[in-house]
Amino acid sequence: MNTTAVKEILHEHQLRITAGRCDVIKLFLASSYALSAKDLENQLPQYDRVTLYRTLHTFIEKGILHLIPHDGGLAYFGLSGTIRQRLTNQKPPTAVHHSDHIHFTCTVCGRTECLPEHLVPKITLPKNYQIDEVALVVKGQCQACYK
Ligand SMILES: [Zn+2]
Ligand SMILES: [Zn+2]
């Protein structure tokens, strides 16, 4: 895991480097699925709830994470596509804006994931309507569950 790159990202977003912030980014990086605050609590028991919630909030504000629409009541979070690509040294992102990719929820295992390579198609609205945000969740079977 590239700790130096994680620290660089915190620094670029004018965030103080703390072990908690680094560990939250690393956890998201290690997970290919979206995570809820509860998942964070379970997987990072060394930090208290308040710290984790505050970290999530800060990361959303800074665009490091984005909120994923989910109808299960729980809020899910995903790492920004640009940041994931930087940390994994993948090719430059096709999805530049963090909220313009499709999200996928598997109806079998219940996991939600970001599909950063798959963009939300262009939405058109009647005249004098303005879009603030497009949140598109596709439901179906994920790779692992599809037989
Ligand atoms: Zn599945
Ligand atoms: Zn996403």
Q: Where along the chain do its domains lie?
A: 3-140
Write down the architecture of domain 3-140 according to CATH: Orthogonal Bundle (1.10)
| pLDDT score of 1 | 61
Distance (angstroms) between ligand 1 centre and the Cα of 145 equals: 4
* Residues by chain with Cβ below 5 Å of ion ligand 2: 78, 114
Tens of pLDDT, residue by residue over 91-110, are 555 544 445 788 999 999 99
- Distance linking the first and last C-alpha atoms of the chain: 33
* pLDDT, position 95: 46
* Cα 124 to ligand 1 centre (Å): 31
DSSP-assigned letter for residue 97: S
* Under-50 pLDDT residues of the chain: 95-98
Distance CA(9)–CA(82), nearest Å, equals 11
* DSSP character at residue 32: S
- The whole-model pTM stands at 0.81
Closest listed ligand to the CA of 76: 2
